[in-house]
Amino acid sequence: MGSLRVDEQWLEAFHGLLESSAYAVAFTGAGVSAESGIPTFRGNEGIWRKYPPALYGNLPGLALAFLFRKRRLARLASEVLTTLLDASPNPCHHALALLEREGPLRAVITQNVDDLHRAAGSIRVLELHGNAFRLRCSRCGLRMDVDRDKAREVREKLLKPDITRRGLLAALMEYAEACVSCGGRTRPDVVLFGESLPAETMNQAMEEASRCDLLLVLGTSSVVYPAAIIPRMALESGARLVEVNPQPSFVSARAHLRIPLPAGAFFASYLERFA
Ligand SMILES: [Zn+2]
């Protein structure tokens, strides 16, 4: 990060846009998590390279893995937990939390499931793909936060090299404990392959996109539907758009300001200069 030069003009232009905004919204993607040590799920280091999504990225696949590939499933679960537990917010997360407290930012719409926006202190976070540190009751729909200490204990159990199927089941059940309200089964509240996005959250996100006068598109190439809808709706409603991402995307041409840097690196300079 240190070698990246952050142009003073970008900082001034970005600050100017924020100052003239009454209702800003941020839209974040995998690039923001990557700077906190969470590899892009589909990237070269990504989890789906080692564990094909057709086998592990959906509930039926996971059930089969439980029956026939229990050690590999235990390894996958422990790797995901380790990655998530070891990650901490970077300057992008911190800046967005600050801009919500003291600036014009009203909401963060995120495609990330790592909970780092809330960890940094953001309050209004719309999680389009859910949250890995939350469970959802399959019967009554209640959502429950997962305690980090418990997640660490479960990870230790999953790491046992001689884990049995019973041991694996016990660890998974310990993580996905029964619903505190109805006793029903719970599952991680994340969107797996082939599942649709939470409709209510998506509606709120679209509402925010059409309401804002400034959209910050951070660390996302936003090419995948339905995420692609968010910048489009903001532009169609007349919002200005800032893109912070090393690679250009389909919104680049229509961005009022494009900063070709990783968001965390840019916001580190921004916080230094303006916070
Ligand atoms: Zn329930």
Would you state the pLDDT for residue 62?
Answer: 87
**Domain co-membership, 144 together with 49:** yes
Structure-block tokens of residue 35: 């700077």
The tokens for 272 are: 């230094």
d(CA 92, CA 142): 30
Span from the CA of 228 to the centroid of ligand 1 (angstroms): 33
Q: How far apart are CA 234 and CA 215, in angstroms?
A: 7
User: What is the pTM (predicted TM-score) of this model?
Assistant: 0.92
**What is the whole-number distance in angstroms between the Cα of residue 187 and the centre of ligand 1?**
11
- Quick: pLDDT tens for 103-146: 999 999 999 999 999 999 999 999 999 999 999 999 999 999 99
State the pLDDT at residue 78. Answer: 92
For residue 43, what pLDDT band results from cuts at 50, 70 and 90? low
Cα 160 to ligand 1 centroid, rounded to whole Å: 31
Q: Which phi and psi (to 5°) does residue 132 adopt? A: -70, -15
Q: How far is the CA of 143 from the centre of ligand 1 (A)?
A: 8
Shared domain check, 243 and 157: no
Of the chain, the percentage scoring pLDDT greater than 90 comes to 76
Number of domains in the chain: 2
Residues with a beta carbon under 5 angstroms from ion ligand 1? 137, 139-140, 142, 179, 181-182, 184
CB contact at 8 A, 148 and 119: no
**Among this protein's residues, is 129 annotated catalytic?**
yes
What is the C-alpha to C-alpha distance for residues 228 and 230, in angstroms, rounded to an integer?
A: 6
**If you average pLDDT over residues 17-25, what whole number do you get?**
98
The CATH number given to whatever domain includes residue 28 is: 3.40.50.1220
pLDDT of 4: 64
| Residues 170 and 55 grouped into a single domain | yes
Residue 184, domain extent: 40-86+135-190
Distance from the alpha carbon of residue 182 to the mean position of ligand 1, in angstroms: 4
Judge if 269 and 206 occupy the same domain: yes
Q: Give the pLDDT of residue 252.
A: 93
User: Please, which pLDDT band fits residue 48 given cuts at 50, 70 and 90?
Assistant: confident
Do 5 and 61 fall within a single domain? no
CATH number of the domain encompassing residue 154: 3.30.1600
Q: Are residues 182 and 112 part of one domain?
A: no
Q: For residue range 49-99, list pLDDT tens digits in order.
A: 788 888 888 888 888 888 888 889 999 999 999 999 999 999 999 999 999
Do 216 and 266 belong together in one domain?
yes
The predicted-structure confidence for 163-182, as pLDDT tens digits, reads as follows 999 999 999 999 999 999 99
Spell out the alpha helix ranges (H) of the chain: 8-19, 30-34, 47-50, 53-56, 59-68, 70-86, 91-102, 116-120, 148-158, 165-175, 199-211, 229-236, 263-274
Q: Please indicate, yes or no, whether residues 167 and 205 belong to a single structural domain of this protein.
A: no
Q: Is the pLDDT of residue 45 over 80?
A: no
Q: Cα of 141 to ligand 1 centre, how many Å?
A: 6
Catalytic residue among 15, 93, 129, 256: 129
In whole numbers, what is the pLDDT of the chain averaged over residues?
92
Q: Do 211 and 202 form a contact (C-beta atoms < 8 A)? A: no
Distance 63 CA to ligand 1 centre (A): 21
Q: What is the Å distance from ligand 1's center to 87 Cα?
A: 30
> Region 203-214: what's the mean pLDDT?
98
Looking at the structure, do residues 158 and 111 belong to the same domain, yes or no? Answer: no
Same domain, 139 and 125: no
